Structure 1
């Protein structure tokens, strides 16, 4: 299974925001730190805001920040929000014409594997990914007084 670029960058946006929890960020600075186009990042930001993971602050000096604590946002939640589907094989899709659909062990095995994958992601949070804030600050070019 391969996650989409959208999921990858959604996690990156959340990590960036978690790395500087006490300050607002601008989407442009996040896009620049990851060498990603700002319009693409804006498209990814919208579902994160709608899901209550990120909040926007309007006006002069506005920006974005995590809407919840980084330890309250798990990877499963992000992946399920940003991935369009989990069809690992044609038989996962509705309307499949496979005659074995109700008795196929491949379908059972893949479904069990997918459940294990999602369950594992549910054990990890954005906070888990951002424990080394000093490294993130250096690597992403975040100038901050709170590098630890």
Structure 2
């Protein structure tokens, strides 16, 4: 299983904002912190805003901030909102299934159960849980080397 960049970047944006709760953050700042294309990040930010995970304030004095507290952002909901589909195998998508053994195959049920278990685990955690499990200096990872005390 491999998550799309959209889902991956969505989680990164949320982590960044949770690690920087003191004010608005620019899309450019997030882009530079992760080395992600700003153009791609803009689409991620728009989707997160539309889903109500973040607040997007346009303009020069604008920026991004979490729309809810980290404890109110369930990871399962983030994944369901940002991952386009969870079709682990072709036969999960009935409209495009061309597998000749699909009607008799027992693997489909096992993979379906595995997918549901994956989502059930994510449903148990919030963004706050992930931040709590992170190192206390998570926010420092986003500082430029000079500001973090580096060379």
Q: TM-score, normalised by structure 1?
A: 0.87
1:25 aligns with 2:25: yes
Name which of 138, 141, 144 aligns with 2:140.
Answer: 138
Residue 92 of structure 1 contacts residue 107 of structure 1 at CA under 8 Å; is this kept in 2?
yes
Moved more, 1-10 or 123-132: 123-132
Farther off after superposition, 42-51 or 89-98:
89-98
- Cα deviation for residue 97 of structure 1 reads 4.2
The total of aligned residue pairs comes to 143
Structure 2 unmatched runs, 5+: none
Matches within 5 A, 1:96-107: 96-98=97-99, 100-107=101-108
For residues 17-64 of structure 1, the C-alpha deviation after alignment (integer angstroms, 9 at most, x for no partner) is: 111223111110011000111111101111100000011123442211
| C-alpha deviation, 1:102, in angstroms | 4.7
1:8 aligns with 8
Aligned to 1:48: 48
Whole-Å separation in 2 of the counterparts to 1:29 and 1:97: 45
CA RMSD after TM alignment: 1.9
